[in-house]
Amino acid sequence: MTHTDLYYFLSRPRRFGKSLLVSTLQYYFEGRKDLFSALAMEKLETEWKKYPVFKLSFAGNKYITEEDLADTLNLKLGEWERQYGLTPSDKSAWGVRFELLIKAAYESTGLPPVVLVDEYDAPLLDSMETPELQLTLKNEMRKLFSPLKDLGGILRFVFLTGISKFSQLSIFSELNNLKAITMNDEYAAICGITREEVLTQMQPEIQALANKNGLTYDGACNALQKQYDGYHFSKNSPNVYNPFSLINALSDKELANYWFSTGTPTILTRLMRKYKVDPVPFETGFEASQDMFDAPTETAKNPIPM
């Protein structure tokens, strides 16, 4: 991925390893070869250059006012401005400030900067029930991302991730050269844990789960599959397990609903209530075409893709 296209976008559910993937990319581009010891990447990469990395996460905050977003951006941009010898500003000209930072990093290091954005959609999801605020936050986000497209000549890599795709009517109209790999066969297993990985790498943990719950080894495998498997992110995707639930289940030796109990998806429960969605059909499944997922999230009439 890091040696093909320049701009990428990936969507995955909550607690599916997106932030871990962003951190992995961060340390890779920072040249932290020591963290990749004994992994394939240690030998695949031969240069290990230390690129300037701008990692921006919108997680860990609630965006219920315009000031909440401004505080987050001022904090991070101000930190980088001090790092690269620029005078910190509290102005909301996010795009101008970000462009000056990227150019300053390029000039001071001689290497093209990397931009990594985690949970880019958090401000938009938090404001979905307040359309006027959401529009304001959306416009502020567009200011931030607007220079990235034109700075392609001095950027090494750009990666955005979140749980949803706010498409044509949103910030991606400014950054419309993103390669979306959310439903791409090649990247279907980039987050999460595949069935093959479970069965080949986790035998001792599965046996311990079986012993505690009075199951055979095969019975424990079937129980894990029924409880945590079932994710397919492309037409030819391998079976992908929910990593957060799987790891907790093997650690606790209990088949519990870890994902929902620790990260209740408020936006989903609100949508189900608004559209009067019956949860029963989810047990057996139903057809959903790929073009359903291309509809703008913020104006969608069908709640199923979300």
Domain termination residue (choose one: 147, 182, 217): 182
208 and 148 share a domain?
no
Per-residue model confidence as pLDDT tens digits over 46-82: 999 999 999 999 988 899 999 999 999 999 999 999 9
Please, what sign has the CA dihedral across residues 278, 279, 283, 286? positive
169 and 232 share a domain?
no
More confident position, 272 or 154:
154
Per-residue model confidence as pLDDT tens digits over 176-195: 788 989 999 999 999 999 99
End-to-end CA separation in angstroms for the chain:
26
Whether this prediction's pTM lies above 0.85 is answered by: yes
Whichever domain contains 74, its CATH number is 3.40.50
100 and 241 share a domain?
no
Instruction: Please tell me the distance from the alpha carbon of residue 124 to that of residue 131, in angstroms, as a whole number.
Output: 10
What is the pLDDT at residue 168?
A: 46
289 and 232 share a domain?
no
Residue in this structure with the two tokens 């505690």, named with its chain if needed: 212
**135 phi, psi to nearest 5 deg:** -60, -40
Residue 224: domain span = 193-262
For residue 79 the two structure tokens come to 């930190």
Q: Domain count of the chain?
A: 3
Q: With contact defined as beta carbons under 8 Å apart, do 239 and 227 qualify?
A: no
172 and 94 share a domain?
yes
Q: Is residue 26 part of a domain?
A: yes
- Percent residues over pLDDT 90 in the chain: 64
**159 phi, psi to nearest 5 deg:** -140, 125
Per-residue model confidence as pLDDT tens digits over 120-145: 989 988 888 888 998 899 899 989 99
Q: Is residue 306 part of a domain?
A: no
For residue 143 the two structure tokens come to 């200011």
3-state class (DSSP) for residue 304? coil
228 and 122 share a domain?
no
Q: How confident is the model at residue 175 (pLDDT cuts 50, 70, 90)?
A: confident
14 and 118 share a domain?
yes
86 and 216 share a domain?
no
Q: Is residue 57 part of a domain?
A: yes
Instruction: Please tell me the distance from the alpha carbon of residue 22 to that of residue 55, in angstroms, as a whole number.
Output: 8
Instruction: Please tell me the distance from the alpha carbon of residue 138 to that of residue 260, in angstroms, as a whole number.
Output: 28
**Residues 6-16, mean pLDDT to the nearest whole number:** 91
163 and 28 share a domain?
yes
Domain termination residue (choose one: 182, 217, 249): 182
Amino acid at residue number 253: K
30 and 172 share a domain?
yes
Q: Hey, what long-range contacts does 226-230 have (CB within 8 A, 24 or more apart)?
A: 227/255, 229/195
Q: With contact defined as beta carbons under 8 Å apart, do 231 and 182 qualify?
A: no
13 and 150 share a domain?
yes
Per-residue model confidence as pLDDT tens digits over 93-105: 999 999 999 999 9
